[in-house]
Amino acid sequence: MKVLKFGGTSVGSPQRMKEVAHLILNGEKNLVVLSAMSGTTNSLVEIADYYSKGNTESAKILINRLRTKYHKHVEELYSTDSMKQATRQLLDEIFNRLLTIGNNKSLTVDEEKEILSKGELMSTNMMTNYLQEQGVKVTLLSAFDFMRIDQNREPDTKFIHDSIRPLLKEHADTQIFITQGFICLNMEGHIDNLQRGGSDYTASLIGAAIQAEEIQIWTDIDGMHNNDPRFVEHTQPVHQLHFEEAAELAYFGAKILHPTCVQPAKFAGVPVRLLNTMDPKAEGTMINNHSEEGKIKAVAAKDNITVIKIVSSRMLLATGFLRKVFEIFEQYHTSIDVVTTSEVGVSMSIDNDAYLANIVEELKKYGIVEVEKDMCIVCVVGDLRPCNKGFISAITNSLQDISIRMVSYGGSNHNISFIVHKDDKQQALQALSNHIFNQDN
Ligand code: ADP
Ligand code: ASP
Ligand code: MG
């Protein structure tokens, strides 16, 4: 069986939903993971925000707006009156719950998460009903029956494995299984989620749990491009990536894949294919265990980076200095992305400022501390083993007009990272594309 995940844009309108139905009815038995229709989760976040501020009136205006939109979708999607009515009723139950959930009190964290779960519940019910209307043998699996996170908010992979397999067996004659991405239950049995963009993670966790033949991530672009198409012109799809390369690109900002999504698939040895709903015949990107030698694959950038530098005469010849520094970050649950050291100091980058003040305060016991915000990590991924002479110099040469704050190479064989100011990001990305991939000079 294959796991096919369709993102928000792919199910963003009734027309798109019909196209997705066409793609999943390919004669094979498929398990389909759907996101909420595009824009819906953002609207739900806004609704929760109004409720939490006590502004019930604005929350209700947004809910009714969303209801009107979904009622229109129902009119367009179904051809029979009975299915229109059944689906409207189902959606109305969800909207009625949204209208009462935040009434006259401040919103709890659990209620906020329940609100956020409604988008995937709506899209999957709509798709299931559409396929039913088309006479397809379809089963809607509730993610709440098998997707669970543990006390550390990590997926409980054993529970997922042990729960989903019997569910699939129970419906042996089903052709298409539909389920919700993103949403899950937590250890307390309350509604929770796998973080924004987490439907990719759902697909990968399911693919690993059922040892799928392949996990397909269907989105609005023809695979992983060699640079961020939102900022750079003339990017090209990359046809193949090693799991590690894909993981680095996702972690360092290639939005097409959620950063957590590569690990379960890699661990289970299930290949991941990125495909384009708008152009289903395009080759897309295959992610597997194969390393393509001698090639620089792609560039990505991660925003909102803070650099912390500590300079200390005590570091000179001192053992245990780095341990002390890193322990401070550990104490404040802050992970470090990039590290560079010299004999007198160390610079580190973080993407979470929540405990910045505490960390700086502690670090000041050991040296002079400087903080720079609004930075960005630019990361180049590919076969960057030392035997590929000239690769690193070609990459750094292409950045000759950019002011570079940190460089990190050698941590792995397939990554070099630069830290630049956010204002230089676009120029850096474009320069790398021009010199490495497009070779126009
Ligand atoms: P979905 O809603 O299907 O999950 P996303 O919006 O999360 O889709 O991801 C797809 C988007 O990722 C693309 O439209 C593109 O703008 C963006 N993107 C960023 N970097 C890359 C990249 N290197 N290759 C392809 N797409 C990228
Ligand atoms: N609907 C969720 C979000 O918008 C999850 C996803 O689309 O992956 O974040
Ligand atoms: Mg996404």
| Per-residue pLDDT tens over the stretch 84-96 | 999 999 999 999 9
CA–CA separation, 241 vs 123, rounded Å? 31
Please provide the DSSP assignment of 141-190 as one string. Answer: EPGGGT-BB-TTS-B-HHHHHHHHHHHHHHTTT-SEEEEESSEEE-TTS-
Query: From the alpha carbon of 225, which atom of ligand 1 is closest?
Result: 24
Ligand 1, from 38, 221, 241: best to mutate by most atoms within 8 Å of Cβ? 221
Report how far ligand 1's centroid is from the alpha carbon of 10 (Å): 12
Query: From the alpha carbon of 217, which atom of ligand 1 is closest?
Result: 3
Residue-level pLDDT at 317: 58
Residue 332's φ and ψ, nearest 5 degrees, are -105, 25
CA–CA separation, 412 vs 46, rounded Å? 41
CB proximity list for 341: less than 8 A, separation 6 or greater: 322, 347
Ligand 2, from 46, 184, 196, 258: best to mutate by most atoms within 8 Å of Cβ? 196
Rg of the chain over Cα atoms, rounded to whole angstroms, equals 24
SS3 content of the chain, % helix, strand, coil (to 5): 45, 25, 35
CA–CA separation, 369 vs 331, rounded Å? 18
Query: From the alpha carbon of 6, which atom of ligand 1 is closest?
Result: 3
Residue for token pair 């964290």: 109
Residue-level pLDDT at 441: 40
The two counts, helices (H) then strands (E), for the chain are 13, 16
Structural domain spans, the chain: 2-219, 297-437
Give the Å distances, CA to CA, from 170 to 29, 148, 165, 180.
Answer: 14, 20, 9, 19
Task: Find the farthest-apart pair of alpha carbons in the chain and give their distance in angstroms, rounded.
Answer: 79
The topology (CATH level 3) of 297-437 is: VC0802-like (3.30.2130)
| Per-residue pLDDT tens over the stretch 392-436 | 999 999 999 999 999 999 988 999 999 999 999 999 999 999 999
Residues in the chain with pLDDT < 50?
440-441
Residue-level pLDDT at 328: 96
Report how far ligand 3's centroid is from the alpha carbon of 254 (Å): 10
Ligand 1, from 226, 256, 275, 296: best to mutate by most atoms within 8 Å of Cβ? 256
Is 374:421 a contact under the CB 8 Å cutoff? Answer: yes
Report how far ligand 3's centroid is from the alpha carbon of 68 (Å): 26
Taking alpha carbons only, the member of 414, 377, 384 closest to residue 247 is 414
Answer yes or no: CATH 3.40.1160.10 is held by domain 2-219: yes
Taking alpha carbons only, the member of 392, 383, 380, 387 closest to residue 432 is 380
Taking alpha carbons only, the member of 340, 331, 383, 382 closest to residue 360 is 331
CA–CA separation, 103 vs 285, rounded Å? 47
Is 181:34 a contact under the CB 8 Å cutoff? Answer: yes
Counting Cα atoms < 13 Å in the Cβ hemisphere of 259 gives 9
12 lines ligand 2 (CB under 6 A): no
Distance of CA 185 to the CA centre of its chain: 19
CA–CA separation, 191 vs 175, rounded Å? 28
Q: Looking at the CA of 274, which ligand is closest? A: 1
∠ CA 293-255-437 to the nearest 5 degrees? 40
What average pLDDT does the chain have? 95
Report how far ligand 1's centroid is from the alpha carbon of 8 (Å): 11
143 lines ligand 2 (CB under 6 A): no
Nearest CA to ligand 2 atom 6: 197
Report how far ligand 3's centroid is from the alpha carbon of 200 (Å): 7
CB proximity list for 422: less than 8 A, separation 6 or greater: 303, 374, 375, 376
Q: Is 310 exposed, middle or buried (0-12, 13-18, 19+ CB in 10 A)?
A: buried
Residue-level pLDDT at 315: 66
Pairing mode, strands 285-288 and 2-6: unpaired
Structure tokens at 48: 């929760």
